[in-house]
Amino acid sequence: MSTVGLIGGHSLRTAALVAGLMLAAAAALALVMRRRPQLFPVLAIAALPFRIPIASEGRTVNLLLPLYTVVGAGLLAHLLPRVLGRSGYRGGRPPMLLDWLLLGSVGLYALQISYSSDPSKGAQNVLFFYLPFLLLYVLLREAPWTPRLALVCAGVAVGLAVLFAGVGFVEYANKSLLLNPKVVAANSFDNYFRVNSVFFDPSIYGRFLALVMVVVTTAVLWARRRREVLIGAALLAWLWAGLITSFSQSSIAALLLGLAVLAAWRWDVRATVYVCVAAAIIALAFVLVAPPSLHLGLTGKGGSANNATSGRAKLVSGGLALFADRPLQGFGSGSFSTEYLRHNEVSATSAASASHTIPITVAAEQGIVGLVLYVALLFAALATLLRGAGRSPPRTALAACFAALVLHTFVYADFLEDPITWTLLGIGVALVPLGQRDAAGAGLAALWRGRGRETAGV
């Protein structure tokens, strides 16, 4: 997500006013949520994409104020009463391995701020991302989920995606953007026009559309009536057009992986793997023999892997060099941009986008310690979401969305800094039957054997 900054100096009065309004809104929502606990997941899904630009000392910061307000309301309505022993809210699910790994990831990141070369960036990530999203995860995993609630939340996400795609179409038609002057400047140098709708980044916009398309595709694959298939197909066509206008290659790749996971569960796992491998080989062959007229950036004047990847190849190689310099503990949380600038002859602008590859960022900032925890977290999350997911279309959709999101973070950015990650995991854990919890190895084994493709409810 877009980098946020601390509000300080003469803007403290404005910050206090905003905080007061958020607290009042959270208190009002909390009163409603106490009577209707199902309201929290719906409002959380609705608030996920929205960032409010706030001017501070000559610059603009983009804060997830709507989501913070909803999480604050959930905290007042559900978590605090439970801690005080006065809650009738359904919950109390026992801790599992994934919970401890998420908590450990937040704790380690906070600890590694102590020796970071950019502690303010690390502190911002903890305050504005990790801690609020950890609360979001807990609230979602403890929510009173029902098939109807899952359907309503999916409907909210789809409705937002349809609306955002419409905004993108208007931007594309007018060749003007509502937000993010950096993208406006980039469009003036490209041969194509990228839209970002209400988001501050075309690739984050594309990520949101891709994940929603995975949800809609799940509904189509498990639909029982022709009318549902036709409506789903129309939605997919609309969202696909929106995704194309973002020109986000990483989002298209994420979508393809999500669809592959759905195909594996709906039909046959091994056949899907074989088809994907064959498609990858064909794509690689196409890239190798593609004529210069396709402008892939690999050949001709200035042709290179770095040119073809819009500069990301250098960021990755630079990140690996940082990891090699300090492999055990890394350079500290939030330090990638600072250290990349210090170790390479590039401008501050070139270093500001981090590595665009989450594993590289983790390795450079947190070293082997953080990398091991990151890999363990991925393994536990995928195993938890995948085991038996085929018995429930909602769980299948969550597993496919998470796989797609992970791939997107490999070629773009933001993993634990994205509230969608915590949302998918929170809902996914809530929907896992108690008897299946913490069976990580069995989850991936069951996926390969192709078990559990029967359909059922949540």
Instruction: Tell me the per-residue pLDDT of 104-142, one tens digit each, with 9 for 90 and over.
Output: 999 999 999 999 998 988 998 999 999 999 999 999 998
Give helix 202-221 / helix 147-174 axis angle, nearest 10°: 130
Nearest 5°: the CA angle 370, 378, 161 is 115
- Listed range (265-274, 308-317, 426-435) with the worst mean pLDDT: 308-317
| Of residues 352 and 392, more confidently modeled | 392
Q: Please check whether residues 316 and 401 belong to one and the same domain.
A: yes
Please give the helix or strand (H or E) that residue 44 lies within, else none: helix 39-47
Same domain, 72 and 138: no
Q: Determine what percent of the chain is predicted with pLDDT higher than 70.
A: 76
pLDDT in tens, 430-451: 998 765 555 444 444 444 444 4
| Mean of all residue pLDDT scores within the chain | 81
Tell me, yes or no, whether 322 and 447 share the same domain: yes
Q: Is residue 451 part of a domain?
A: yes
- Domain assignment present for 293: no
Residue 3 has pLDDT above 50, yes or no: no
- The tally of CA atoms less than 13 A away on the side-chain side of residue 305 is 7
Rounded to the nearest 5 degrees, what angle is found at the Cα of 243, between the Cα atoms of 190 and 383? Answer: 120
176 with 57, same domain?
no
The type of residue at 456 is: A
- Whether 320 and 444 map to the same domain: the answer is yes
Give the model confidence (pLDDT) of 9-37 as tens digits. 445 666 777 788 888 988 899 999 988 98
Same domain (yes/no): 120, 10: no
Q: Is the pLDDT of residue 306 over 50?
A: no
Among 67, 86, 105, give the residue marking a domain's end. 86
pTM here? 0.84
* 301 in a structural domain: no
Q: Which two tokens stand for residue 347?
A: 């401008």
Residue 208 belongs to some domain of the structure: yes
Same domain, 104 and 155: no
Whole-number pLDDT of residue 177: 78
Residue 86 has pLDDT above 60, yes or no: no
Q: Of 79-93, 109-123, 219-233, which range is least confident? A: 79-93
Judge if 117 and 189 occupy the same domain: no
Within-domain flag for 19: yes
Domain range enclosing 8: 1-86
Report whether 68 contacts 22 (CB < 8 A): yes
Asked if 415 contacts 421 with a C-beta cutoff of 8 angstroms, the reply is yes
Taking residues 212-221, report their average pLDDT: 96
Specify the higher pLDDT residue, 455 or 131. 131
Q: Among the three residues 227, 247, 267, which one is the final residue of a domain in this structure?
A: 247
Separation between Cα atoms, residue 325 and residue 150, nearest integer Å: 47
Judge whether 155 lies within some domain.
yes
**236 burial level (CB within 10 Å; 0-12, 13-18, 19+):** middle
pLDDT at 456 over 50: no
For residues 329 and 424, state if they share a domain.
yes
Q: Is residue 170 part of a domain?
A: yes
Q: In the block, which residue shows the tokens 């064959």?
A: 278
Centre a 10 Å sphere on the Cβ of residue 126 and count the other Cβ atoms it contains.
19
Contact 158, 213 (CB under 8 A): no
Q: How far separated are the first and last CA of the chain, in Å rounded?
A: 30
Clarify whether residues 47 and 173 are in a common domain.
Answer: no
- Pair (29, 77) in one structural domain: yes
Are 331 and 455 members of one domain? yes
The residue type at 249: Q
pLDDT per residue as tens digits for the range 312-344: 667 777 888 888 999 999 999 988 888 888 887
- Per-residue confidence band for 279, with pLDDT thresholds at 50, 70 and 90: confident
Supply the pLDDT for residue 106: 96
User: Is there a domain that residue 287 lies in?
Assistant: no
- Measured in whole angstroms, the distance separating CA 395 from the mean position of its chain's CA atoms is 17
Which pairs from 268-277 meet CB under 8 Å and 24+ separation? 268/450, 269/447, 269/448, 269/449, 269/450, 270/448, 270/450
The domain boundary residue, chosen from 215, 247, 279: 247
| Per-residue pLDDT at 320 | 87
Domain total of the chain: 3
